Structure 1
Amino acid sequence: MQANYYRIADHKQLTVHNNQSSQLQLGKQYTATTYNVGFGAYNHDFDFFMDTGELKDGTKVKGHRGTAISKQAVLDSTNGVIDTMKAQNADFMFFQEIDTNSTRSKHVPQVSMLEQAFNHYASTFAVNFHTAFIAVPIYDPHGIANSGLLSLSRYQIDNAERRKYPVSSSFISKFVDLDRCFSVMRMPVKDGKDLVMINSHMSAYDKGGKMRKAQMKLLNGIMEKEYQAGNYVIVGGDFNFALGQDMIMHFANGEKRPEWVSDIDQSMLPEGITMVKAQNRETVPTVRGAEMKYDPKVNYMTICDGFFVSNNVKATATDIDTDFRYADHNPVKLEFTLE
């Protein structure tokens, strides 16, 4: 594995396919969604070998699967994602952990499936997980992985760039939590400014949140710079933080707090940037623990998916309840207006 390890260079220009010509304007309402689709594997019967936890009675639990249960399971989940997103009819869609030609997702071409389903959108894809072969677990190797961030837009994208996050250099982490990044897309607004949209997926398996804090520092700097330049800023994605300390143990479940759970709140964002708290966040979580098959009364759940916006963007958010049928995450929808 070591011989095949490398990181993609920072500031990599991304190709925009099927670019659109429509431009954004002030005062009009738009919608955006973010959805970590978990490479199509995380249906109710799936658990993942990297995930561990402990029940409140002290019982240790650990996932065991390295790949999806079957190719049909991946197809069913991917089609479920497509149907869910068609029902939302959003102007912008961000997806994380979406595969192309990967062992773990049974080589289902998820990226092309979504691009074909939404062929009237511009699209751009940034790789954030690429490895020749992961040989663990031995009984169900994770295998070859090609995965990343897919961003779809009904509006013109002038420029798209891949920015790399700092990541752990530990031997295991750099192979299973590889090459984290975010996509930065610039979209022209009719007032002469830009809407800067960022699709982000921060590190998992980061005990205490050390790497995620370093990643937030980088992201904060970019958000602050763009807002101070007069641009509109929207960041969506899977932050792998609980979005608010009150969400860490908010949802009733049978597990203790997992080691990976750290939180971020409004005080950790730069001036002029706001965390948009979903209106139904008290009742609809956005992620479930995957150290066991899905049991809504037992699995740990919290809110770690959502949006940050600059103060010149008026926005509300809603968590979309899919009951985790197609992924270990629920999507989040943002309604926003540029002011």
Structure 2
Amino acid sequence: MMALGGKTMKKGLKIILACLLVLVLIVGGYLFYLFISYDRLPDDLTLKPDNQNQTTLKTQKKYRAMSHNIGYGSYPPSYSFFMDGGDYSRAYNQETVKENMQGIVKTTKELEPTLAFYQEVDQDGDRSQHVDEVAWLKTHLNSYNSLYGQNYDSAYLFYPFDQPIGKASSGLVTLSKAEITSSKRYSLPIETNFNKFFDLDRAFTVSRIPVANNREFIAINTHLSAFTKDRSIQTAQLKKIFTVMESEYKKGNYVMVAGDYNHDVLGNSPDVFHTSKKRETWTHPFPKDELPEGFQIPVGNLAEEKIPSARALNEPYQKNKTMTTLIDGFILSDNITVDDVHVKNMAFRYSDHNPIYLDFRLNQ
């Protein structure tokens, strides 16, 4: 009996060891796949804009710019996201993504911007149910010239285990009523440790638009890191954008940077929106004192209007309960006059961000 029991124990131990070996091989193989497949686009990459018309901007004429992080069309008010402590990693279904994209297009048409800047636009992704949102914007807003710059092309991320976020290719879309004569994509610094697999391949695009006085309007679209705990990365990202801004301004050009900064643009959003004073990795105050000379972030009456541009995704959206803030906006050179700036209150119907828009004029 003892011999038989010993054999049974040894057999059980062998099975356990074999299972552990298989598990180690699977995990090791997956990590090998992640590192082998990881690749970043080169810096200073020339992009090709798609122009439908050759309109030129004019000085002293009123124009409107809009910036909207569309959350890859996957975040209705009922949605919560796993990286914020919520429940989901993918859009509910393809119908939800299409409904959100329809709402985003409708909102754009209502605001009628001369320039529209979008962030988190998926070209293809498991998380967005494989809806080509880049093509969607170009097709449904086809009177605009357009530019797409990729800033995310991940391997298959097998996390969370019950519903992996999967693989995605995503980026920045800039639409313009005026001709985009040339464009470039610049890579931003990101973490080099394992966190690089969970952050976007951060970037910004620079589009050149002619102005009737023979100068250029420089339209910069960006989306800075959100979940990095290394504040030096966020500082380095801003520094690189600031360098390009300053260089173009010194040439006499008009410069506009639009996007999701993942920094508190007001600086005191917890007081304005009466939400938690705890600073998340994506809600630290924007370092306005580090802006190059000749630049500003216009906030107008945004603090008095109390309409947030972004919400936390730890829970479904509940007005006056869910944490909200203002992390989207514009940086402008001082040769651009601001008439007003507002956040359009969509109650986060189509995204975890509300669009922010600005009316402006180019000085002579």
* TM range, smaller chain: over 0.9
Structure 2 residue runs of 5 or longer lacking an equivalent are 1-33
Cα distance in 1 for partners of 2:279, 2:223 equals 21
Shift of 1:66: 1.1
Q: Deviations over 1:252-293 (max 9, x none)?
A: 236844344211143121100011114334310101001111
Give aligned-pair identity as a percent.
34
Report the TM-score when normalising by structure 1: 0.93
**Cα distance between partner residues in 2 of 1:320 and 1:210:** 32
SS of match in other structure, 2:97: helix
Match of 1:128 among 132, 142, 151: 151
Distance 1:209 1:326 in 2: 30
1:224-259 C-alpha deviation (Å, 9 max, x unpaired): 111111110011000000013222443123684434
Structure 1 residue 207, shift from structure 2 partner: 2.5
Deviation at 1:18, TM superposition (A): 2.9
Alignment correspondent of 2:17? none
How far apart, in 1, do the equivalents of 2:322 and 2:277 lie?
A: 6
1:151 counterpart SS class: strand
- Structure 1 residues 255 and 276: alpha-carbon distance in aligned structure 2, compared to 1, 3 A threshold: closer
Q: 2:43 aligns with which of 1, 4, 10?
A: 10
Is it true that 1:250 corresponds to 2:250 in the alignment? no
Give the structure with the larger helix fraction: 2
| 1:209 and 1:260 in contact (8 A); partners too | no
C-alpha separation in 2, matches of 1:102 and 1:113: 14
Q: Which moved more, 1:121-130 or 1:201-210?
A: 201-210
Report the counterpart of residue 68 of structure 1 in structure 2.
Answer: 91
1:57 aligned partner: none
Match of 2:117 among 78, 94, 106: 94
Aligned partners of 2:155, 2:287: CA distance in 1, in Å?
37
Q: Is the 8 A contact 1:128 1:149 kept in 2?
A: yes
Residues 208 and 262 of structure 1 are in contact (CA less than 8 Å); yes or no, is this contact kept in structure 2? no
CA contact (8 A) 1:19 1:157 kept: no
Deviations, residues 202-242 of structure 1 (Å, cap 9, x unaligned): 01102263321111111111111111111100110000000
Aligned to 1:185: 207
Q: Secondary structure at the match of 2:273?
A: coil
Q: Which residue of 2 aligns with 1:104?
A: 127
Separation in 2, partners of 1:198, 1:248? 28
Question: Partners of 1:238 and 1:138 in 2: how far apart?
Answer: 29
Q: Aligned equivalents of 1:83 and 1:65: distance in 2?
A: 26
Q: Which deviates further from its counterpart, 98-107 or 279-288?
A: 279-288
| Residue in structure 2 matching 1:85, options 100, 108, 133 | 108
Q: Which residue of 2 aligns with 1:55?
A: none
Equivalent of 1:327 in 351, 354, 359: 351
- Distance in 1 between residues matched to 2:76 and 2:362, nearest whole Å: 37
Which one of the candidate residues 287, 302, 306 is aligned to 2:310? 287
Residue 167 of structure 1: which of 190, 197, 200 is its match?
Answer: 190
CA distance in 1, matches of 2:55, 2:312: 40
Which stretch has the larger CA shift, 226-235 or 10-19?
10-19
Q: 2:238 aligns with which of 216, 221, 231?
A: 216
Quote the residue 2:360 is aligned against.
336
Q: Residue 148 of structure 1: CA displacement?
A: 0.4
RMSD across aligned positions (CA): 1.4
SS of residue in 1 equivalent to 2:179: coil
The higher radius of gyration belongs to: 2
SS in 2 for 1:334: strand
State the AA in 2 paired with 1:78: M
What letter is aligned with 1:83? K
Q: Where does the alignment leave 5 or more consecutive residues of structure 1 unmatched?
A: 52-61
From the two aligned structures, give the one with the greater strand fraction. 1
Residue 205 of structure 2: SS of its match in structure 1?
strand
Distance 2:199 2:176 in 1: 27
Q: Is the 8 A contact 2:119 2:260 kept in 1?
A: yes
- Secondary structure in 1 aligned to 2:63? strand
**Count, aligned residues:** 328
8 Å contact 2:52–2:143 — kept in the other structure?
no
